[in-house]
């Protein structure tokens, strides 16, 4: 299978392999790190991994909701786009997609910096790191990015460099059902694609709110798996963005992406 149409394939794959990895609390092998990034700052990328990522991704800031942020992504101009999916030598590159939910979260933070300014932020399932980068750009006092794929962590470091922000700490452990941290805000996008994973998120996020009064923002373009889950009845719609045409085409015709507040009794108004 060629990478043409690869986003649809990866999303279907994401519903299975990635969800199982979250449930089993296992990530991919930690390839290419000079220093382990568990619970700390993985700030160095081995030269051979850096060369691989730079050669096989494209720096782009177009076709999404945040042209202010440059990212290394897989695009039609990349070699692996035209090769068989299993030719990619590492775990499925979910991080190389700028998913619509993450785009909406990043746009909202950039437009409303008071949401994060001076606050501690956890970006759960960070992927390419765009939302974490948006939080840093908008004045967050502390940012932790979380993704169980160590390759995503390496890509985040390169993306920080592109945007002239200091690399933030990155953890590749499974945060769900872990001890509740003292975060002012948790952001997560495009995570509700598997019922068991969604159940785990629902329980853990509720615990974070109950114990730490953490605010939670969720980005999602309205996928069926998200809309039908019981968490949806606990959400307050903050803002809806119309997706650029290229993002619509790459996401099966989804036309918009919404930021939701998982604190239905509190109204998150625009700053």
The pLDDT tens digits for 109-148 are 999 999 999 999 999 999 999 999 999 999 999 999 999 9
Q: What are phi and psi of 63, to 5 degrees?
A: 75, 15
Most confident range (mean pLDDT) of 45-49, 70-74, 247-251, 262-266 is 70-74
Q: Is-contact 258 221, C-beta < 8 A?
A: yes
Query: Rounded to whole angstroms, how far apart are CA atoms 183 and 121?
Result: 6
Tokens of 122: 């956890």
- Domain-embedded: residue 37: no
Q: Which domain holds residue 173?
A: 45-262
Q: CA-to-CA distance for 261 and 190, rounded, in angstroms?
A: 14
In a domain, 40, yes or no: no
Does a structural domain hold residue 15? no
pLDDT band at 61 (very low <50, low <70, confident <90, very high): very high
CATH of the domain at 86: 3.40.50.150
Q: Which residue has the higher pLDDT, 9 or 119?
A: 119
Q: Is residue 132 part of a domain?
A: yes
247 contacts: CB under 8 Å, gap ≥ 6 = 63, 64, 65, 98, 100, 103, 254
Whether 183 is covered by a domain: the verdict is: yes
pTM reported for the whole predicted model: 0.86
Contact criterion met (CB below 8 Å) for 246 and 97: no
- Give the count of domains, the chain: 1
For residue 138, tell me if it sits in a domain. yes
Q: What is the pLDDT of residues 30-46, one digit of tens each?
A: 333 333 343 444 467 88
Among 245, 249, 189, residue whose Cα is nearest residue 4? 249
Q: Which of 95, 42, 98, 44 is nearest to 69 (CA)?
A: 98
The neighbouring-strand residues paired with 134 are none
Please check whether residue 4 lies inside any domain of the structure: no
152 domain-assigned? yes
Query: Residue 269 has what pLDDT?
Result: 43
φ/ψ of residue 40, rounded to 5: -150, -160
């Amino acid at each position: 299978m060629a990478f043409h149409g690869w986003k649809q394939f990866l999303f279907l794959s994401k519903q299975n392999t990635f969800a199982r990895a979250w449930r089993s609390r296992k990530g991919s092998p930690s390839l290419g790190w000079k220093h382990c990034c568990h619970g700390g700052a993985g700030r160095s990328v081995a030269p051979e991994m850096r060369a691989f990522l730079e050669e096989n991704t494209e720096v782009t800031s177009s076709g999404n909701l945040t042209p202010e942020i440059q990212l290394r992504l897989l695009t039609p101009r990349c070699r692996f786009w035209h090769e068989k999916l299993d030719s990619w030598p590492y775990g499925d590159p979910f991080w190389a997609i700028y998913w619509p939910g993450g785009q909406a979260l990043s746009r909202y933070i950039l437009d409303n910096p008071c949401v994060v300014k001076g606050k501690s932020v956890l970006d759960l399932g960070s992927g390419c790191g765009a939302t974490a980068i948006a939080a840093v750009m908008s004045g967050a006092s502390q940012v932790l990015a979380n993704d169980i794929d160590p390759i995503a962590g390496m890509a985040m470091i390169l993306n920080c460099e592109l945007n002239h922000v200091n690399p933030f700490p990155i953890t590749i452990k499974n945060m769900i059902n872990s001890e509740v941290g003292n975060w002012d805000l948790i952001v997560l996008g495009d995570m509700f694609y598997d019922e068991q994973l969604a159940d785990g998120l629902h329980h853990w996020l509720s615990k974070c709110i109950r114990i730490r009064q953490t605010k939670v923002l969720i980005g999602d373009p309205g996928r069926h798996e998200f809309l039908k889950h019981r968490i949806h009845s606990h959400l307050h719609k903050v803002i809806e963005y119309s997706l650029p045409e290229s993002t619509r085409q790459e996401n099966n015709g989804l036309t918009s992406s919404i930021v939701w507040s998982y604190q239905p009794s509190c109204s998150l108004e625009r700053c």
